[in-house]
Chain A
Protein backbone atom coordinates (compact mmCIF):
# COMPACT_ATOMS: atom_id res chain seq x y z
CA UNK A 1 0.00 0.00 0.00
CA UNK A 2 1.30 3.44 -0.93
CA UNK A 3 1.81 5.86 1.96
CA UNK A 4 -0.15 8.55 0.11
CA UNK A 5 -2.83 7.90 -2.51
CA UNK A 6 -4.05 10.59 -4.88
CA UNK A 7 -6.28 10.16 -7.92
CA UNK A 8 -4.18 11.33 -10.88
CA UNK A 9 -7.22 12.41 -12.89
CA UNK A 10 -7.27 14.16 -15.28
CA UNK A 11 -10.12 16.25 -13.91
CA UNK A 12 -11.89 18.74 -16.19
CA UNK A 13 -14.55 21.17 -14.93
CA UNK A 14 -16.24 24.33 -16.23
CA UNK A 15 -15.19 27.77 -15.04
CA UNK A 16 -16.93 28.77 -11.83
CA UNK A 17 -17.36 25.23 -10.55
CA UNK A 18 -16.31 24.09 -7.09
CA UNK A 19 -13.41 21.68 -7.32
CA UNK A 20 -12.62 19.02 -4.73
CA UNK A 21 -9.21 17.34 -4.71
CA UNK A 22 -8.41 14.58 -2.25
CA UNK A 23 -5.67 12.41 -0.82
CA UNK A 24 -5.73 9.49 1.56
CA UNK A 25 -2.79 8.28 3.59
CA UNK A 26 -1.84 5.31 5.72
CA UNK A 27 0.70 6.71 8.21
CA UNK A 28 -1.14 7.99 11.29
CA UNK A 29 2.03 9.82 12.39
CA UNK A 30 1.67 12.45 9.66
CA UNK A 31 1.15 15.85 11.29
CA UNK A 32 1.94 18.36 8.53
CA UNK A 33 -0.19 18.49 5.40
CA UNK A 34 0.47 20.54 2.32
CA UNK A 35 -0.89 21.21 -1.14
CA UNK A 36 1.47 22.20 -3.90
CA UNK A 37 0.43 23.56 -7.32
CA UNK A 38 2.52 22.84 -10.40
CA UNK A 39 1.92 24.67 -13.64
CA UNK A 40 3.08 23.12 -16.89
CA UNK A 41 6.87 23.36 -17.35
CA UNK A 42 7.28 24.82 -13.86
CA UNK A 43 8.32 23.50 -10.48
CA UNK A 44 5.75 22.94 -7.71
CA UNK A 45 4.91 25.87 -5.43
CA UNK A 46 3.35 25.70 -1.97
CA UNK A 47 -0.33 26.59 -2.04
CA UNK A 48 -1.68 25.60 1.39
CA UNK A 49 -0.15 24.32 4.62
CA UNK A 50 -2.04 22.79 7.56
CA UNK A 51 -0.78 21.45 10.84
CA UNK A 52 -2.76 18.55 12.34
CA UNK A 53 -6.54 18.49 11.86
CA UNK A 54 -8.99 21.17 10.86
CA UNK A 55 -9.67 23.63 8.08
CA UNK A 56 -7.66 26.45 6.64
CA UNK A 57 -8.99 29.01 4.21
CA UNK A 58 -7.07 31.34 1.90
CA UNK A 59 -9.19 33.24 -0.58
CA UNK A 60 -10.89 30.77 -2.92
CA UNK A 61 -8.93 27.84 -1.49
CA UNK A 62 -9.82 25.73 1.55
CA UNK A 63 -7.73 22.88 2.90
CA UNK A 64 -9.30 20.27 5.17
CA UNK A 65 -7.64 17.56 7.22
CA UNK A 66 -9.53 14.66 8.78
CA UNK A 67 -6.96 12.66 10.73
CA UNK A 68 -9.52 10.16 11.99
CA UNK A 69 -10.22 9.13 8.39
CA UNK A 70 -6.66 9.78 7.17
CA UNK A 71 -8.08 12.00 4.46
CA UNK A 72 -7.21 15.48 3.27
CA UNK A 73 -9.01 17.71 0.78
CA UNK A 74 -8.45 20.89 -1.17
CA UNK A 75 -11.49 22.85 -2.29
CA UNK A 76 -11.35 25.54 -4.96
CA UNK A 77 -14.36 27.87 -5.16
CA UNK A 78 -15.26 29.90 -8.24
CA UNK A 79 -12.60 28.05 -10.24
CA UNK A 80 -10.75 30.01 -12.92
CA UNK A 81 -8.87 28.89 -16.05
CA UNK A 82 -5.72 30.10 -14.30
CA UNK A 83 -6.27 27.34 -11.72
CA UNK A 84 -5.50 24.75 -14.41
CA UNK A 85 -2.45 22.90 -13.08
CA UNK A 86 -1.36 19.71 -11.37
CA UNK A 87 -2.09 19.69 -7.64
CA UNK A 88 0.12 17.58 -5.38
CA UNK A 89 -0.62 16.73 -1.79
CA UNK A 90 2.33 16.24 0.54
CA UNK A 91 2.73 15.37 4.17
CA UNK A 92 5.33 14.70 6.83
CA UNK A 93 5.75 13.57 10.40
CA UNK A 94 7.04 15.82 13.18
CA UNK A 95 10.78 16.27 12.87
CA UNK A 96 10.87 14.44 9.55
CA UNK A 97 13.52 15.24 7.03
CA UNK A 98 11.37 14.68 3.98
CA UNK A 99 7.93 15.16 2.53
CA UNK A 100 5.91 12.27 1.12
CA UNK A 101 4.08 13.34 -2.01
CA UNK A 102 0.96 12.06 -3.72
CA UNK A 103 0.95 11.32 -7.41
CA UNK A 104 -0.66 14.66 -8.31
CA UNK A 105 -4.05 15.42 -9.86
CA UNK A 106 -4.09 17.17 -13.22
CA UNK A 107 -6.89 19.77 -13.25
CA UNK A 108 -8.25 21.71 -16.22
CA UNK A 109 -10.76 24.56 -15.83
CA UNK A 110 -12.61 25.17 -19.08
CA UNK A 111 -13.72 28.74 -19.93
Chain B
Protein backbone atom coordinates (compact mmCIF):
# COMPACT_ATOMS: atom_id res chain seq x y z
CA UNK B 1 0.00 0.00 0.00
CA UNK B 2 1.26 3.47 -0.82
CA UNK B 3 0.08 6.99 -0.05
CA UNK B 4 -3.00 7.61 2.04
CA UNK B 5 -5.73 4.98 2.20
CA UNK B 6 -9.21 5.48 3.58
CA UNK B 7 -11.86 2.92 4.49
CA UNK B 8 -14.67 2.48 3.92
CA UNK B 9 -15.03 4.28 0.58
CA UNK B 10 -18.81 4.45 0.99
CA UNK B 11 -20.91 4.43 4.15
CA UNK B 12 -24.65 4.73 4.68
CA UNK B 13 -25.85 5.13 8.22
CA UNK B 14 -28.93 6.04 10.14
CA UNK B 15 -29.05 8.96 12.52
CA UNK B 16 -28.77 6.69 15.57
CA UNK B 17 -25.89 4.54 14.32
CA UNK B 18 -22.29 4.60 15.45
CA UNK B 19 -19.60 4.09 12.82
CA UNK B 20 -15.96 4.94 12.26
CA UNK B 21 -13.88 6.11 9.32
CA UNK B 22 -10.29 4.91 9.11
CA UNK B 23 -7.26 6.53 7.51
CA UNK B 24 -3.75 5.14 7.16
CA UNK B 25 -0.74 6.92 5.69
CA UNK B 26 2.34 5.11 4.41
CA UNK B 27 4.45 8.20 3.77
CA UNK B 28 6.19 8.66 7.10
CA UNK B 29 4.48 12.02 7.66
CA UNK B 30 3.99 13.53 11.10
CA UNK B 31 0.75 15.49 10.60
CA UNK B 32 -2.69 14.15 9.68
CA UNK B 33 -5.96 15.93 8.92
CA UNK B 34 -9.68 15.37 8.47
CA UNK B 35 -11.47 17.54 5.92
CA UNK B 36 -15.15 17.66 4.97
CA UNK B 37 -16.06 18.25 1.33
CA UNK B 38 -19.66 19.19 0.54
CA UNK B 39 -21.10 20.09 -2.86
CA UNK B 40 -20.48 23.71 -3.88
CA UNK B 41 -18.59 24.48 -0.66
CA UNK B 42 -14.86 24.85 0.02
CA UNK B 43 -12.99 22.09 1.79
CA UNK B 44 -13.60 22.49 5.51
CA UNK B 45 -10.80 21.59 7.91
CA UNK B 46 -12.16 19.57 10.82
CA UNK B 47 -9.17 18.31 12.82
CA UNK B 48 -5.38 18.42 12.71
CA UNK B 49 -3.05 16.07 14.51
CA UNK B 50 0.67 16.69 14.76
CA UNK B 51 2.87 13.97 16.25
CA UNK B 52 -0.33 12.29 17.48
CA UNK B 53 -1.54 15.34 19.40
CA UNK B 54 -4.60 17.28 18.34
CA UNK B 55 -3.58 20.82 17.46
CA UNK B 56 -6.71 22.05 15.73
CA UNK B 57 -10.39 21.51 16.29
CA UNK B 58 -12.31 23.74 13.96
CA UNK B 59 -15.51 24.10 16.00
CA UNK B 60 -16.66 20.67 14.91
CA UNK B 61 -19.79 19.26 16.63
CA UNK B 62 -19.10 16.64 19.28
CA UNK B 63 -20.91 13.99 17.24
CA UNK B 64 -17.60 13.78 15.35
CA UNK B 65 -14.81 12.36 17.51
CA UNK B 66 -11.27 11.96 16.13
CA UNK B 67 -8.65 9.52 17.34
CA UNK B 68 -4.97 9.33 16.40
CA UNK B 69 -3.36 6.27 18.07
CA UNK B 70 -0.05 6.74 16.21
CA UNK B 71 1.44 8.88 13.46
CA UNK B 72 0.24 6.51 10.72
CA UNK B 73 -3.39 6.04 11.70
CA UNK B 74 -6.32 8.41 12.09
CA UNK B 75 -9.93 7.61 12.87
CA UNK B 76 -13.12 9.64 12.79
CA UNK B 77 -15.81 8.20 15.06
CA UNK B 78 -19.36 9.12 14.11
CA UNK B 79 -22.48 8.99 16.26
CA UNK B 80 -25.98 10.46 16.13
CA UNK B 81 -25.23 12.26 12.88
CA UNK B 82 -27.62 14.53 11.01
CA UNK B 83 -28.56 14.34 7.31
CA UNK B 84 -26.59 17.57 6.70
CA UNK B 85 -23.45 15.66 7.72
CA UNK B 86 -23.67 13.72 4.45
CA UNK B 87 -20.50 14.59 2.54
CA UNK B 88 -17.13 13.32 1.35
CA UNK B 89 -14.71 13.02 4.27
CA UNK B 90 -11.09 13.35 3.21
CA UNK B 91 -8.05 12.37 5.18
CA UNK B 92 -4.71 14.01 4.42
CA UNK B 93 -1.16 13.94 5.70
CA UNK B 94 1.86 16.23 5.42
CA UNK B 95 5.47 16.23 6.46
CA UNK B 96 4.97 19.25 8.71
CA UNK B 97 2.28 21.76 9.51
CA UNK B 98 4.12 24.84 8.39
CA UNK B 99 3.10 24.38 4.77
CA UNK B 100 6.51 25.40 3.55
CA UNK B 101 5.95 23.12 0.63
CA UNK B 102 2.18 23.48 0.58
CA UNK B 103 1.71 19.82 -0.02
CA UNK B 104 -1.04 17.82 1.56
CA UNK B 105 -1.41 14.22 0.44
CA UNK B 106 -5.07 13.26 0.33
CA UNK B 107 -6.78 9.90 0.41
CA UNK B 108 -9.63 9.12 -1.97
CA UNK B 109 -12.23 9.92 0.66
CA UNK B 110 -15.11 8.21 2.40
CA UNK B 111 -18.52 9.11 0.95
CA UNK B 112 -20.94 9.31 3.89
CA UNK B 113 -24.71 9.32 3.54
CA UNK B 114 -26.83 9.89 6.64
CA UNK B 115 -30.46 8.81 6.32
Which residues of chain B are within 8 angstroms of A45 by Cβ–Cβ distance?
105-106
- Per the bound structure, the CA–CA distance linking A69 and B55 in Å amounts to 33
B40 touches A98 (CB 8 A): no
Residues of A31-72 whose CB lies within 8 A of B: 32-34, 41-46, 49
Residues of chain B within 8 A (CB-CB) of A98 are 45, 48, 56, 58
Whether B103 contacts A49 by the Cβ 8 Å rule is yes
Report the minimal beta-carbon distance from A53 to chain B, rounded to whole angstroms. 15
- Asked whether, in the complex, the Cβ of B102 is within 8 Å of the Cβ of A43, the reply is no
Fill in one digit per residue for A14-42: 1 if any B CB lies within 8 Å of its CB, else 0.
Answer: 00000000000000000011100000011
Q: Is A13 positioned at the interface, with any CB of B under 8 Å from its CB?
A: no
Instruction: Report Cα–Cα, A2/B4, bound state, in Å.
Output: 30
The answer to the question of B66 belonging to the interface, with a C-beta cut-off of 8 Å to chain A, is: no
Majority secondary structure, B binding face: loop
Which of A4, A41, A97 contacts B56, CB < 8 Å?
A: A97
Which residues of the partner chain A approach B43 to less than 8 Å between Cβ atoms?
A: 44, 88, 90, 101
| Contact partners of B99 in chain A: CB under 8 A | 32, 92, 96, 99
Q: Taking the nearest CB of chain B, how far is it from the CB of A7, in angstroms?
A: 12
* Bound: A63/B73 CA distance, A: 34
Q: Is A41 touching B42 in the complex (CB atoms < 8 A)?
A: no
Q: Could you mark each residue 56-93 of chain B with 1 if its beta carbon is under 8 Å from any beta carbon of chain A, else 0?
A: 10100000000000000000000000000000001010
Cβ B106 vs Cβ A44 within 8 A: yes
**Residues of A participating in the B interface, judged by any CB pair closer than 8 Å:** 2, 4, 6, 8, 32-34, 41-46, 49, 88, 90, 92, 95-104
Name B residues whose Cβ lies closer than 8 Å to a Cβ of A. Answer: 4, 40-43, 45, 48, 55-56, 58, 90, 92, 97-109
The 7 residue pairs across chains A and B that have the minimum distance between CB atoms? A43-B106, A101-B43, A49-B102, A101-B42, A34-B102, A46-B103, A92-B99
